[in-house]
Amino acid sequence: MAETLRMPEVAANTAEALLASWNVGLNTPYAAGDPIVTVETEKAVVEVEAENDGVLLRLLVEAGTTVTVGTPIAVWGAADEPVSEVDALVASLGTGAAPATASSASVTASAPAPQERATPAGTNAPAPTEAARDGSERVFASPLARRLARASGIDLRAVVGTGPHGRIRRSDVEAAVVRSAGPAETLPADTMPAIPSTGVASAGVASTEVPSAVAPAAGARFVDVPNSRMRGAIARRLTESKQNTPHFYLRAGARVDALLELRQQINAGQGVKVSINDLLVKAIASAHVSVPAMNVQWNDTSIRHFSGVDIAVAVATDGGLVTPVVRDVGSLSMSAVATATKDLIARAKERRLRQDELEGGTISITNLGMYGTEDFAAIINPPQAAILAVGAVRQEAVVDDGAIGIASVLRLTLAVDHRSVDGATAAQWMTALVEVLEHPLRILL
């Protein structure tokens, strides 16, 4: 019996999502657990797995369309379902099938060949979108890159990909847009956000038309590019945080010569290499154990206290900032923390994070030290209680017992939500963090 496949709620309180690609072609058998469709939220890409064996009989929504949660997107069933029954089901839904040419193109452009299995969610390997260059050669491009190319009139066959295995990324298409526009467009490619789908059609489905970059007037030295879904989400959440969350800030400097020496010793052995940020994540967990009143989230009617320590790590991607969460850091070994952060960072850059990996946590860490930034203040990600901003390690003059010496100093700025944490509590926590960083063997305990 033919059944309806509807747009799932891939994230809590999500009203709509983008149908990025169909991973299975029409009338191609799939098994339970196979990823049949890829859905994008504002900050994550989710592969929706089949609950049962079956065949896609009709595609009701084209790839690249924004769809309201619960909207029918396809009809599935057995391979021998009577056509009349499928037609009757589609008619009862009050929607027609997606145009055959568009459906075929979207599946060809995004689905792996029958002998290739799509990469399951949660793995490190990217799941590139494939589009035929000619009869034998394929173009590997992300869904974002494909939509931007379509909106800007860029032929992907002429774009050189800089991603893994030559995969075309958003930044590659943006660079091609700038080159094709001529000298009037002078913005560098890495400053241009992706172009999102907009417009609303009937039956809860947004139009597949995507706005192109607004052409500048003759001689203009700028180009207007519509904000991406991710950029819009970042703008909305950070504005809400600054408007509604009473921030206060604490600053400290930690002497980290011993910490740097410990990292060197750890990395001298075999196994996963540990970064300064990995050590800081473990140090934060240790400070949370020492001052559990910081391990909280603010709710309108309560302050939620946690037993385990979940820490969000800020990751800069082509589309914007994301903060995947490392779970139960206190129970992880140093190498396990390093492995977890490397995995999350790699998948964040390819937009392969699951939605649940972006939720939760009581504190975030953001690090600009690799750019030489000495110190800065960050914006809290509600309902988390705080965010720690980490600067660069600098050689500075210090005084010990009246004698001047040189030490490696790390500048830290803690932004705290005053609704859930008082100033004295935050100060105790910062003291505990500095103590751990200056006596780093405690991190390994």
Distance CA 234, CA 16 (A): 17
Catalytic residue among 247, 288, 305, 418: 418
CB 282 within 8 A of CB 443: yes
Residue pointed to by tokens 């050189």: 160
305 is catalytic: no
If you write DSSP's letter for every residue of 292-356 in order, what string do you get? GGGSEEE-SS-EEE-SS--EEE-EE-SS-EE--EE--GGGS-HHHHHHHHHHHHHHHHTT---GG
Cβ contacts of residue 2 below 8 Å, gap of 6+?
Answer: 57, 75, 76, 77, 81, 85, 86, 89
> Is 371 exposed, middle or buried (CB count within 10 Å of its CB: 0-12, 13-18, 19+)?
exposed
Element holding 174 (H helix, E strand): helix 170-181
Name, in order, each residue with C-beta under 8 angstroms of 48's C-beta and a sequence gap of 6 or more: 8, 10, 35, 36, 37, 38, 39
CA distances in angstroms from 286 to 42, 120, 231, 294, listed in the order given: 32, 34, 33, 11
- The catalytic residues are 418
